[in-house]
Structure 1
Amino acid sequence: MSDKIVERVSELLNQEKWTRATLNNYTVANFTELDELLDDVVKDDAAQEVLELCDEHLIHTKNSIIGLYVSGVVHLSRQTMDDSNLVSLIEIFTDNHKWNIVEYLCRRILEFGENRFALRTLADCYDNESQIEKKYDVWERLIRVDYDEADIVRHLAEKREEDGLIEEAVDYYKKALHRYINKRQFNSIKEVWHKLIQYAADETEFFYHAESRIAKTVSPERSVQLLEDLYPHFKGKNPNTSIDILKRVLEYDPKNPWARKEITECFQEKYGAHSQLDEYIRLSNLNQSWRNVHDAIADFEKHIAFDEGNFVYHRSWGVGIIRSIKGDQIVIDFARKRGHSMTLKMAVGALEILPKDHLWVLRSVWKKEKLREKIKKDIVWGLRTVIKSSDNAADMKKVKAELVPSILTAGEWSSWSTKARGILKTNSTFGVLPDKADHFVVRDQPITLGEKTHNKFKGAKSYFEKIRILEEFLEYMDSEIEAGTDSEFFREMVDYFVASIKSATTMNETVVAGYLLVSRIVEKHRYFDVGLELDFRTMYDQIDGVEAVFGAIDSTELKREFVHKLREHVEEWPQLYVRLFPHYLSRDIIGELERAGHHDRLVELFMRVYENYREYREAFVWLARNVIDDRWFSRLNIGYEKILIAMIHLLDLTFRDIDNRRDVSQNRKINRQIHNFLFKDNTIRQYLSQADEDGINRVYTLVRDVKELDPSIKIELKQQIMNEHPGFHFYGETDEIESVSRGGFMVTLASYQEKQRALKHLHEVDVPQNSKEIGEAAALGDLKENAEYKAAKERQDLLNSSAARMQDELDKATIIRPEDLDATAVSFGTKVTLRGPNDESEHYTVLGPWESDPEHRVISYLSPLGHELLNAKVGQRLEFTINERKYEFDVERIEPVEL
């Protein structure tokens, strides 16, 4: 069937060449007929043959209308982004003013995705046909894909302005301003700037951001010029904003006499009612040109803050309120030091001025319960208050330090902070510092998510942190309408990665990650022109040491994309999957190898990890937990016991590394996974239930030798073995009870369990209760003189010491069971009858220090008397001295006691 389609196309091409059909004979109907033919080409899977036929034909007849059209559509249908043939075709019909055909061809291209050339040509087409509304609609689409286009954005803004849609006009003017800044076209920048002053002057945050970009891309002098144009709008109306603008001018031009004079007048307007205004202007030399303007402003603002009724903070006396100012003397009422007097000079250096809505002030004047409830119910208010109280810059650690435990408990903080993080991420009231992405600020004007993300992006320190921020924004774009790919902030973030790829000299992990990220964006938004040849195979061939580079990519999602592209573009992908698996623990690799029938590679993968399990710890644990039940696993020539032994060995290794403070976080994670696999999932128990005696001994001995493992687990496993195999002989345990290791001691199971319960109560009840008391005592303040706090801290030290001692004793204890007892001689767990010189019988039960009860004649084998009786046999005469007292006994009877 495909042969017939190819033959039909060939006939059409030849017919066109023989008849030499002129352009004037072509109509839209001709192209709709070709589209029907192309549908058949796709159905019959003949696209490649038809494409080769057309390309060959175009070599000899470069202006073949049919050849250009069929080849162009086939290329686009394959998502190759090669639109050159259709572009040539459109130019041919444009030159001949066949606008209806031009429109059809442009629309045909746009069926495969947005295209700048097609949109621009379609807009020109509508302009020639005087279809103005349609032209504007196309322009709307064009500016979303052409980030360099600024004039059309401005035309759209002017159209919205003419139609009275001022809010929409402002959005377009803002976008135009950003694009003119990128183009460094200052005249256009200035014109749009004045338009925005006319309609949105109060959006100072936007002007400040734009002004800072202009200073970098054009010049600081131009920024000063624009700020001077913005200033008159606020002069005499808003002294705070006027001062902010003038400060920015002085940052660029500290010797600007106009700005210095204006800022002095603004301060006089703002603080006109202040009793010390003139004096503080004089002291700071604010209006004296010889003094550094920034020092003068800082000096003035520090002094002017001191006025009656204002709150202050002293690091020793806490929050206070200024009661009066007379001359150079200030009188302040602190909570514990009322009527305190100090000089102005001393106050400026020793006190911090607090606004009335500062958190410390609220803690002083509000009842604790009122403040607690307000912060719990109104999280936005709580965040705003804490951040503003921290010089308008705080991370979550700072927020927690201010709220816990003085206002919120640790438990309340857990749920409160989760909600707070979500609010900080999406609420337009909060932004981030440009140089510290984890520090939040309170904005005077709302901020878009695009701008917030951009600020966070700029503040991110690492390359992969920037990747994660952009990926978050891409997720938001997929679910929201606002701030899509036409966002100037989005383009700037993408350009950062494009620039890093272009400037790279070696193909390291950051370049590969940037390539994968940019490729994903371009594949999804095919109109996105980044000026790069994004060919995976070419990039892959430049990687030196693929394992090391892949392992260093700090993004699971990008690793997944890399693995998938290997499968598509690299023939030796199965071998690479085996090598890369330890760096990407996922079913993706296992599943793909299994589906492709590469069971030999799966075996190779497992054995490679198993034979190097000390190096590939996490990979081995993942395999042990996830693939043992897979069908291909049965092909392995490896016993289940070997896997268990390796896991137990890793358990011991991770315990040791944790003790040695080596990669603690990672080792704790692996240790927890192994522990759950072996004991929580009952893997060891199930194995012991079905293994032979040698296997049981091998596995149990390894478990027993893991020093840091909970002793109760060892006891339970040993008990299971003894229950299932009565009389079982354990490696390393002799028949002599006295073989207890040096420094250890013997106990009964009941005593051991009682001690475990006591330790558990200490950890789960006593210590948490005392920690709560410490928090409550700390909330009372002034820890140096806080008796409750000191007492609670002392008790905490005592509890920790007791817990450590009890744990040490448990580690040293050896449990003696009934089957361990030997009544042929006096030993642990025996009752001995002695006859003295007066022919009187005495009875003693010999146990350990935990069971000792002298009043009831239960003695420890470690006591002086117990030590003298140990190993004595029936009929033996004993003579010994304790504390200068002589004893003489005959051993009459020895019998085991019930343990």
Structure 2
Amino acid sequence: MSRLYELAESCNSDAFKSAWESALDKGTPAEELIEAVTVFQNNAKGNLPLRLAELAAERMDSENRDDVFEFASGAAELFEHSSVIATVLVEALRDRYLMFEPLEIFITASGILSEKKPLKESWKKLKELIRYQEGSFVYHRDFGPGRILRVSRSSFTIDFQRARNHDMTVEATRNSTRPVPEDSLHVLRWKNPEEFSNLLHNGGNSLLERAFRDLATDNSLKEINLLKLLDGSDFKPRQMWKILKAATVNSPDYMDMGDSIIPADSSSLLSQVEAVIALKKLPMSEKTKIVASLLKSSTKKEENTLVQIFDRVAALEDIEKGAVFELAWLCSGKGKTENFQENTVQLLETKAARVQRSIEEIHSVPCKKLYLKLYFESSPDEKEIWTLLDKLPRTMREQAAEHAHEFYPELHEKYILEALDDPGETAHFMWALERSAKMENYMEPGKIVFLALKNLNFAKSEIQRRICMILMNKLRPQLEQHISLLDTRRLEALTENLEQSLGAQETGLVLLARRELSGRRTGGFTNIRRFWESDFLFNSREGIARRIEEIEDIRTVQIPLAAKAIAEAASHGDLSENAEYTAALEKRDFLLEMLNRYQKQLKLMRPYPVGQVSIDVVSPATRVIIESMGDDPEIRTVFVVGLMDADADKGYINYKAPLGAALLGLAKGDTVQLPGSTGPDWRITEISLMEEKI
């Protein structure tokens, strides 16, 4: 380490100034001078570093030193403004590129001699322009890569991949092309396809570095950036994108952000987030995604530092208000700061269309939900609430409906009932029906059932089936009450409508109505619920006796044996390492759990009711013959029985199993879609009693 460098670090201005002048007298190399003044500028206050750099530039220029360009170019990257350094640098350039005819045009275009333009930025621009040398490569959006064949004062001749020996003015070249290195991916694919192919298949980190250098825009690489490069290639953008994403796993220099790759930053999380927010061309929603990805790999302590910029983020003005809201949410510990609601109220839209757009801009579901909650708490116009419920996708509509129910219960019920009266909007209708079934404690169930039955036949067959399933399951008590209260004329009309619905037939809804109507016509007592619909478990007497025997065996034989095994294993010593003892305990616990379960089942078990099992409809203790309705008819015999009599391999099906449940209540001639089957329906051709089971 040189004496000059040590003084720069110590920030002793007088000593450094004296040493600097001495270094100039001795002809210290430009590289050492730049290194020292860089450190001094970072540590010192005031404009002394600039004055010393200007002194050095003038001295080296007057002495015609060979390294004046090296010093002036290095100093131009340190200071924002200096006409002295700019002038010395330009003169050095003129000497260095004496035969480069467009140089003066490029000097003017860069603005490096303008006191109004920042020196650092102008020099960066000029360095890029100087790359337009004979023999170098450029890239054109339409013509692809090209090599500069000839350079004159006012034009270039460029051999493009898709435009050979093409003449362009200096201005047109500068505006429509960009210099690229000889090893760029575009040039490789054109000039050396074999090396390009090898790089694609085996490149890994090398491919990632070149792809980012050549293809990234706004300091971010995305799959869309690969399209031009691979246009017409057998290698697809998706393949290359997967390779690039895989390479980021082992790369310390890049991070995979999901749909983009960005440079890794070793600085603090707060600095990284501030840098992302400062990006000018990146949409706010993209910035939010990057910040969210950074948070995933950070510690809780690092996340807490973002509270420092929460107020500033919440005050950002951007057309994507939803994205700003999410960014503020991320910087506030996900909405946990005390002043979050107060500081983000200006980000809440009032019009339904804009609220929907804001929600679409937010990526995190919890953040979407919070936005909706705060929107409803802000006393929005009821017409806008109605419109918003119409516009939102199903998941968000459900969340919005919850808030509407909380803050505007009358509007919520009115909206649901209106949706139920419009079967033309199928998805909306089904959402309203399912929601109303969950909200039966808050809404009038009779209205829900009435509207569902009224509009059933207007829906498509699959939707009809879903409607009937909701009625027969979630709204079963309300459905039965509704049917029982209908006068006979209306019940007849309902039954006729249900008979035209395949869904009503498949779910047994039509049978419910038929039984009620049949009971009224015969003058008998009507009971909507059949015996198998109760909480009892029906089995044969033999099956129930078998369960009693199993319980007795577990209680009197197996559990005592397990207790004996526990005692014997315990006598072997240390219980903490006694595998036999552990196994014996586990077996005992298993037997106790089984005994408890069997005893509960036994309390509910009843023999098949002789008087209620008939050949009119399928019920437990009936034998059913079904025939497929396809081109190649098939006949099957199914015995519908209780749990203790079931043996699927022999065709004895538990009536609570999917197949048994699907057949229950159906009559001869009815058709059914077997559960899990995508084939043709089956028709019931015969029902008979299993007398041996009754």
TM superposition score category, shorter chain reference = 0.3 to 0.5
Q: TM-score by structure 1 length?
A: 0.34
Calculate the TM-score normalised by the size of structure 2: 0.41
